[in-house]
């Protein structure tokens, strides 16, 4: 994926995050601690990719019934991808 495409995906996921925060009173602390938002176009492609994985992991975690549900497994996979991308 090109950097511009990742930034667009990051932007869309950020909008979904905003909805979760308003509708479910959900917090995305790990994502917020990264301090990499979709408007930070000066950040590297890998930084945006990592932020997408962290955000995806927190979204899936917030929807998971338990760690063995489909959403729970998605959360675990996103966490693996975020860790792998962070290296």
Q: Which CATH number goes with the domain that contains 32? A: 1.20.1270.110
- Using an 8 Å Cβ cutoff, are 64 and 75 in contact? yes
Give start and end residues of each alpha helix (H) in 1-87: 3-24, 29-34, 45-63, 70-86
Number of domains in the chain: 1
One pLDDT digit (tens) per residue for the chain, 87 residues? 899 999 999 999 999 999 889 888 889 999 999 999 999 999 999 999 999 999 999 998 887 766 666 777 787 888 888 888 876
Task: Copy the structure tokens of residue 38.
Answer: 């979709």
Domain span holding position 75? 3-86
């Amino acid at each position: 994926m090109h950097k511009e495409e990742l930034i667009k995906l990051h932007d869309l996921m950020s909008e979904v995050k905003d909805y979760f925060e308003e509708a479910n009173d959900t917090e995305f602390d790990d994502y917020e601690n990264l301090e990499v938002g979709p408007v930070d176009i000066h950040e590297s492609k890998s930084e945006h990719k990592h932020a997408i994985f962290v955000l995806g992991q927190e979204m899936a975690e917030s929807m998971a019934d338990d760690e063995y549900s489909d959403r729970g497994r998605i959360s675990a996979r996103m966490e693996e991808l975020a860790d792998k991308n962070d290296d």
